[in-house]
Chain A
Amino acid sequence: MSGRRALIVIVALWIASAALASARVETFDLRGTVRAGGRSEADAVVWLDAPDAVAPRDDKPVVLDQHNLSFFPRVLAVRVGTTVEMPNNDRVFHNVFSFHDGKRFDLGLYPVGRSRQVRFDTAGLSRVFCNIHPNMAAYVKAVDSPYFAVSDRAGRFTIAAVPEGAYTYHAWRPGRQDLTGSAAVNGNGELDLQWR
């Protein structure tokens, strides 16, 4: 009787592992280009809807740096739940705050070498400023997806390791309406986005 039970367990495990193997989905990098008014567009955020995604979080620290009286990068995209480091690497004090949509915070004054953290726990756009320096401005776009990227100076972007399938994409850039559409991730073709 116990031998029969053992056989059943072995068979069940074999079937389960076979099912898992067949369920393993291949992943691809989704590449594309962003243009606006016919010109390559840097700092556009592109992301894919993936409400059931189980992709692990990247452990690398996400940094919104302050130096030369500027934020770097000017546009930062993060996954919801990410904590962003905001170090002051200037020789003057900064007072980073965001009072508009998205995450609201005021980090107070802090000098060179010090850092503060902000956790972006809901999706949305946060416009970040320094209350002292009028030309310091940055955008933090929190997206509820592990699949996102920011376009480079040539307007190019790469969303890495996306499971094969059909997705709804979104694209955002400062001062424009979001673009939305469908994209197939299968290793073929690129996603070209254009604002008129």
Chain B
Amino acid sequence: MALTKLARIGLCCALVARASSAAAQAIAVDVDQSAGYSTEDVAAAHTKLRAFGEVKPDIRFNVTGVWGRQSEESDAFAAAYPYTDRPVVLDAYVERTFRPSGGLFGLRVGRYRTPFGISSESDQGYVGFQRNPLVRYDDCFALSSTFFEHGADVVVGPPRASLEASVGTPGDVGEHTRAGGVDAVLRAQAVVGSFIVGASVIRTRPHLPHADLESATGFGADAAIDAEQDEGEREPASGTAAFGGIDVRWMRDGVQLRGEYISGRPFDGARTHGGYVDLIVHRAFMGPITAALRAERIASRDAGISVLAGERYTAATRIRLPRGFFAHLGIVHNTATLIERRATAIDAGVSYSVRLE
């Protein structure tokens, strides 16, 4: 079955590549391979294929498939990819960008990451951190960076201030996925000097199974669910999920400061708020080294009872090595109810990336 899915992804890439080359447009394939080990006793490996190019002049396509495996369920090394132990398609879309009179109008159709806040794979997966922010991990009561949409996305405005809207149905990957229905995401973004400021809202369906959250004592939704329900009884929570968020990025001379705050309800009767602040430094004197620090916090309540609360601090580095290799090292310290395995963990990984043209 896994091979069949992998074969589908390969066939899809090949067909798109053939169509692209027939139209005499450039096509390229990125191959990423990574492996890592965390002192949480978690080992992980993943392979990603990304084919991209132009179907016709100015109409671009992007197809990304990934296969990832973890020795145990964890958010370690999951900054951008799910570990489903089977090949999955992440992005599969075509897009076109127009620049009328210096303005901006972009249209994307297909399957793409939910455009809420700091959401892109590269924003979360390639800046030095090896874990998602808690407010973007699908085992917490907030959003997930592996939310995907099947739909259409439009961005419009002068580049200095743009409005983005997406309408689609959920196409999530990962352990917890949203039920069907129609999603709507709206995002506004403005560039003010060295600041880039965004605000997003989403209205969708819950992604977590229904559970008696009062019994939660461990980390995230699984702890709550495992306490009350057998595997076969899990059903999506009822009602709607709705979140609002703001995000800010500032950068100067190789120093980036960014943060995101998200607040809303993961399902009817529950409330979550939290966020993170990242400091990412890549100065000229540092050469191939990027250093990153993160401080984050999350708190969830269901029917007025705290079910998840804690803080986490991360120090990480990403080193660009010769010939497409990267080394990653992170130290993560958890507090409060986030402690399930160990309070402090060290994540180490290596990745290799190559482009075939």
Interface residues of A (CB under 8 A from B): 67-70, 89, 91-93, 95, 97, 99, 104, 106, 108-114, 131-135
Contacts and interface: CB of A to CB of B under 8 A. Distances in A.
B355 A92 contact: no
Contacts of A91: 95, 97, 106, 108, 120, 155
B256 A106 contact: no
Q: Please list the 8 inter-chain residue pairs (A to B) with the smallest Cβ-Cβ separation, ordered nearest first.
A: A113-B159, A108-B251, A113-B104, A134-B353, A135-B355, A92-B120, A109-B251, A106-B254
Contact of A112 (B30, B104, B126, B355): B104
Contact of B60 (A67, A112, A131, A135): A67
Nearest to B60: A68
B189 interface: yes
A92 B28 CA distance: 18
Nearest to A93: B123
Nearest to A129: B320
Interface in B40-66: 52-54, 60, 62
Contact of A104 (B106, B194, B256, B284): B284
A6 to B, nearest CB: 57
A106 B126 contact: no
Interface residues of B, number: 46
A132 B127 contact: yes
A69 B353 CA distance: 13
B355 A111 contact: no
A112 B115 CA distance: 14
B290 A112 contact: no
B106 A108 contact: no
A154 B287 CA distance: 36
A92 B62 CA distance: 13
B282 interface: yes
Nearest to B356: A135
B106 A112 contact: yes
Nearest to A68: B52
B270 interface: no
A132 to B, nearest CB: 5
B180 interface: no
B351 to A, nearest CB: 8
A114 B249 CA distance: 15
Nearest to B115: A91
Given A68-B62, A91-B97, A135-B355, 4 more contacts: A67-B60, A95-B282, A104-B284, A135-B324
Contacts of A134: 32, 126, 320, 324, 326, 351, 353
B122 interface: yes
Interface in B135-189: 155, 158-160, 162, 189
B99 interface: yes
A188 to B, nearest CB: 34
Contact of B256 (A67, A68, A89, A109): A109
Contact of B162 (A104, A106, A113): A113
Contacts of A110: 191
A74 B127 CA distance: 23
30 contacts: A67-B97, A68-B28, A68-B52, A68-B60, A68-B62, A69-B30, A69-B122, A70-B28, A91-B95, A91-B97, A92-B120, A92-B123, A93-B122, A95-B282, A97-B254, A99-B284, A108-B194, A108-B251, A108-B252, A109-B196, A109-B251, A110-B191, A111-B162, A113-B158, A114-B159, A131-B282, A131-B290, A133-B126, A134-B126, A135-B324
Given A108-B251, A112-B159, A134-B353, A99 B60 contact: no
B231 interface: no
A67 B97 CA distance: 10
A73 to B, nearest CB: 11
Contact of B155 (A70, A97, A106, A112): A112
Contacts of A108: 194, 251-254, 256
Contacts of A135: 30, 324, 353-355
B272 to A, nearest CB: 26
Contacts of B196: 93, 109, 111
Contacts of B120: 91-93
Contacts of A111: 159, 162, 189, 191, 196
A112 B60 CA distance: 15
Interface string B246-283: 00010111101000000000000000000000000011
B1 to A, nearest CB: 30
Contacts of A97: 254, 282
B21 to A, nearest CB: 13
